[in-house]
Structure 1
Amino acid sequence: MANLLVRGIDEALVTALKERAVAHGRSAEAEHREILAAALRRPRKRSLAAVLAAIPDVGEDSDFERVDSAAEAPDVFD
């Protein structure tokens, strides 16, 4: 595993890191690793089925039917 040395960090940030680490029951080093991992972690790819299932159920199927001519189309802007 590689090591990472970060220099020139503002003391207020170091204090905030240590406070956050205590709140999560971790060392400052472990908290730093978790913050980096969370910031750089790639989002999980979702399947097409999951994406489609997440689409909200809006309207009736007839609301989305294709209309072949302008004469048949309802005037929705009145």
Structure 2
Amino acid sequence: MNSITIKNFDDDLKNRLQKRAEYSGRSLEEEAKAILGAVLTEKASKPLNLALAIERRFADFGDFELPTITREPLREPPNFEDLHDCT
């Protein structure tokens, strides 16, 4: 069995990990193994679909329509020919 050492481990992070371990009824080492195992075994093959993520996020709001925003006509593009020569 291999072991790892994490140097300069943030105290706040260690305290949060310790609290999580206590809540789960595990040792600090067991909790770290569980977290690493869960993260490293997740399926990462699916790319993020932003539209689907947004749809899922707002699914609980039910059906609703966004109001139509009236658009103004485009401005005329600037005419740079009117500028005088600065050379």
TM range (shorter): 0.5 to 0.7
1:42, distance to aligned residue in structure 2 (A): 4.3
- Give per-residue Cα distances to partners, 1:42-72, cap 9 Å, x unaligned: 43xxxxxxxxxxxxxxxxxxxxxxxxxxxxx
Please state how far the C-alpha of 1:21 moved relative to its aligned partner.
0.1
| Structure 1 residues not aligned, in runs of 5+ | 44-78
Q: Which residue of 1 aligns with 2:26?
A: 26
Q: TM-score, normalised by structure 2?
A: 0.47
RMSD: 0.9
The two structures have a TM-score, normalised by structure 1, of 0.52
Match in the other structure for 2:5: 5
Q: Which residue of 1 aligns with 2:16?
A: 16
Which consecutive segments of 4 or more residues in structure 1 shift more than 3 A? none
Aligned length: 43
Distance in 2 separating the partners of 1:26 and 1:32: 10
Identity rate of aligned residues, in percent? 35
Distance 1:35 1:42 in 2: 11
Give the structure 2 partner of residue 41 of structure 1: 41
Gaps of 5+ in 2: 44-87
Q: Which of these two proteins has the greater Rg computed from alpha carbons?
A: 2
The separation in 1 between residues aligned to 2:5 and 2:34, in whole angstroms, is 15
